Structure 1
Amino acid sequence: MKTILTTGSNGLLGQKITEKVLLEGRVNLIATSVGVNRYPVKEGYEYAEMDILNPEQVKEVIEKYRPDAVIHTAAMTNVDTCEANKELCHRLNVDAVGTLLSMCEEKNIQLIHLSTDFVFDGLDGPYKEQDAVNPVSYYGKSKVLAEELIKNSNANCAILRTILVYGISNDMSRSNIVLWAKGALEKASPINVVNDQWRMPTLAEDLAEACLLAVEQDAKGIYHISGKDYMSIADLVRKVADYWKLDDSFINEISSASLNQAAKRPVKTGFVLDKAIKDLGYNPHSFEEGLLILEQQMDKAN
């Protein structure tokens, strides 16, 4: 059985990988993150504190556990924060990848790197893996730079690009669009939602499964991983309202330009999933199925 080490194990995707491993036992897991372990179950895997900005600590942890694969989920993903603090974004999204890459190359460890639809300009989605990248934000640029580091290295790597990940996890430090919309509409709070951006939202469980499939199949190259349904952000929020029978009159549709956000967003992304389905056996849930899974998890938590 392979041993995998995850970075960012306290985040949504990191927690879903831990959950999956504990449930299915397909690999041995070393979970790493900054600070204490926030996952509620502490048995059945190892946890180590690891700051990806500390090369010595990264080296120490990887040499101690000698994993067969590293799944790199840690990143700075707030698009406007990345635009406002380019230096920190570069350190977290590019330099840290370089640190991991050199270790993986030296120790012959597979690296599964998470990337984003924001590497594209959104003028011609849905995109295939081989389509030309052209980011419109610094976040997207940082992810392109990381992808280039990977392509130019001799390490055994797979890049999994994904879109608008949603889900629920323990002690979440950040919300996501589904939980934000549901929470606001339950309080009858008016919300502004853009109606001129299109995406394919990704259930965190589906992305976690894709990460494990990539390890198990020793995947190399780029794979597009998302949900199967293509929709505008406004439609997504309306589907959330409809699913939980919430009043959609509180949804105020606006244009992206009216938000005055620090970073520009691509208009239409979305992915062609054929390669991941064929090569990895990836089989994502529909958006409605994803909402049902969330509902079941919420009921269980209560």
Structure 2
Amino acid sequence: MKTILTTGSNGLLGQKITEKILAEGRVKLIATSKGKNRYPIKSGYEYAEMDILNPNLVKKVVEKYKPDSIIHTAAMTNVDTAEADKELCHQLNVDAVQTLISLCEEKNIQLIHLSTDFVFDGADGPYKEEDAVNPLSYYGESKVLAEELLKNSKANWAILRTILVYGITNDMSRSNIVLWAKGALEKASPINVVNDQWRMPTLAEDLAEACILAVEKNAKGIYNVSGKDYMSIADLVRKVADYWGLDQSIITEISSESLNQTAKRPVRTGFVLDKTINDLGYAPHSFEEGLKIVDAQMKKVQSKK
């Protein structure tokens, strides 16, 4: 049985990987993150505190647990924060990747790296894996730089690019587009939503499954991993309203220009998923099915309170 070490295990994707591994027992898990373990179940796997900006500590943890594969989920993902603090973004999204690459080369460890649709400019989506990158933001640029490091390395690597990940954690602390939309609509105050950006939102469970499949199938190269439904952000919010029976009349559709965000966003991303479906056996849920899964989990969390 393979041993996987995850970085960023306290995040949404990190927690979903832990959940899946504990439920299915397909691999052994070493979960690592900055600070204390926030996953509610503490048995069935090992946890180590690990700040990915501390190369000596990363080396120590990797040498202690000797994983077959590392799934690197830790990153700065807030696009506007990345634009405002480029130095920290570079440390987290580029330098930390180089630390892991060096260790993986030296110790023959497979490295699964998470990337983003923001490596593209959005002029011509949906995209295939081999399409030319052209990031509009520093966040996207940092992810391109990390991808280049991997491509030029001697490591056994795979890059999983994803889009707009949604889902809930047990502590409900991490927001994302679906939770934001549901929460905002429930408050019944008017909300503005952009209608000129198109995406393929990704259920966190689907992305976690793709990460584990990439390990099991010893994936090499770049893979697109997203949901299968293509929609505008405004459509997405309306679908959330529909699912939970919330009032759509409070939604005002606006253009991206009127938001004055720090970082530019691509207009049309989305992915062609054929390679990932054929090579890895990836089978994403529909957006409707994803909302049903999130709803069931919310009810479970609330019933425990």
TM-score of the superposition, structure 2-length normalised?
A: 0.98
Q: State the shift of 1:5 in Å.
A: 0.2
**Residue 226 of structure 1: aligned partner:** 226
User: Contact 1:196–1:233 (CA<8 Å) still a contact in 2?
Assistant: yes
The whole-number CA distance in structure 2 between the counterparts of 1:34 and 1:257 is: 36
Q: Does 1:154 align with 2:115?
A: no
User: Contact 1:82–1:138 (CA<8 Å) still a contact in 2?
Assistant: yes
Q: State the shift of 1:238 in Å.
A: 0.2
User: Contact 2:125–2:268 (CA<8 Å) still a contact in 1?
Assistant: yes
Corresponding residue SS for 2:246: coil
The one-letter code sitting in structure 1 at the alignment partner of 2:177 is: I
Q: Deviation digits for residues 57-91 of structure 1, max 9, x if unmatched?
A: 00000000000000000000000000000000000
Q: State the shift of 1:173 in Å.
A: 4.2
Corresponding residue SS for 2:96: helix
Q: Deviation digits for residues 165-216 of structure 1, max 9, x if unmatched?
A: 0000022443000000001111112211100000000000000000000000
Corresponding residue SS for 1:218: coil
The whole-number CA distance in structure 1 between the counterparts of 2:191 and 2:282 is: 34
Q: Deviation digits for residues 217-257 of structure 1, max 9, x if unmatched?
A: 00000000000000000000000000000001111110000
The whole-number CA distance in structure 1 between the counterparts of 2:33 and 2:282 is: 27
User: Contact 2:193–2:253 (CA<8 Å) still a contact in 1?
Assistant: yes
The whole-number CA distance in structure 2 between the counterparts of 1:171 and 1:102 is: 34
**Residue 75 of structure 2: aligned partner:** 75
Q: How many residues align?
A: 302
**Residue 21 of structure 1: aligned partner:** 21
**Residue 34 of structure 2: aligned partner:** 34
The whole-number CA distance in structure 1 between the counterparts of 2:19 and 2:92 is: 25
Corresponding residue SS for 1:31: strand
Classify 1:280/1:198 alpha carbon distance in 2 versus 1 (closer, same or farther; 3 Å): same
Gaps (5+ residues) in structure 2?
none
The one-letter code sitting in structure 2 at the alignment partner of 1:218 is: N
**Residue 301 of structure 2: aligned partner:** 301
Corresponding residue SS for 1:89: helix
Corresponding residue SS for 1:115: strand
CA RMSD of aligned residues (A): 0.6
The whole-number CA distance in structure 2 between the counterparts of 1:171 and 1:92 is: 24
**Residue 282 of structure 1: aligned partner:** 282
User: Contact 1:113–1:157 (CA<8 Å) still a contact in 2?
Assistant: yes
**Residue 264 of structure 1: aligned partner:** 264
**Residue 174 of structure 2: aligned partner:** 174
The whole-number CA distance in structure 2 between the counterparts of 1:171 and 1:88 is: 27
Q: Deviation digits for residues 7-45 of structure 1, max 9, x if unmatched?
A: 000000000000000000000000000000000000000
User: Contact 2:170–2:301 (CA<8 Å) still a contact in 1?
Assistant: no
Percent of aligned pairs sharing the same letter: 83
**Residue 136 of structure 2: aligned partner:** 136
Q: Does 1:250 align with 2:220?
A: no
The whole-number CA distance in structure 2 between the counterparts of 1:298 and 1:263 is: 32
The one-letter code sitting in structure 2 at the alignment partner of 1:75 is: A
**Residue 193 of structure 2: aligned partner:** 193
User: Contact 1:207–1:226 (CA<8 Å) still a contact in 2?
Assistant: yes
Corresponding residue SS for 1:300: helix
Q: Does 1:240 align with 2:240?
A: yes
**Residue 12 of structure 2: aligned partner:** 12
The whole-number CA distance in structure 1 between the counterparts of 2:275 and 2:199 is: 19
Gaps (5+ residues) in structure 1?
none
Corresponding residue SS for 2:56: helix
User: Contact 1:11–1:172 (CA<8 Å) still a contact in 2?
Assistant: no
The whole-number CA distance in structure 1 between the counterparts of 2:156 and 2:118 is: 24
**Residue 49 of structure 2: aligned partner:** 49
User: Contact 1:12–1:172 (CA<8 Å) still a contact in 2?
Assistant: no
The whole-number CA distance in structure 2 between the counterparts of 1:60 and 1:250 is: 53
- 1:209-220 aligned at under 5 Å gives the runs 209-220=209-220
Extract structure 1 runs of 4+ deviating beyond 4 A.
none
User: Contact 2:118–2:140 (CA<8 Å) still a contact in 1?
Assistant: yes
User: Contact 2:119–2:135 (CA<8 Å) still a contact in 1?
Assistant: yes
Corresponding residue SS for 2:60: helix
Classify 1:53/1:173 alpha carbon distance in 2 versus 1 (closer, same or farther; 3 Å): farther
User: Contact 1:190–1:250 (CA<8 Å) still a contact in 2?
Assistant: yes
TM-score of the superposition, structure 1-length normalised?
A: 0.99
The whole-number CA distance in structure 1 between the counterparts of 2:31 and 2:267 is: 35
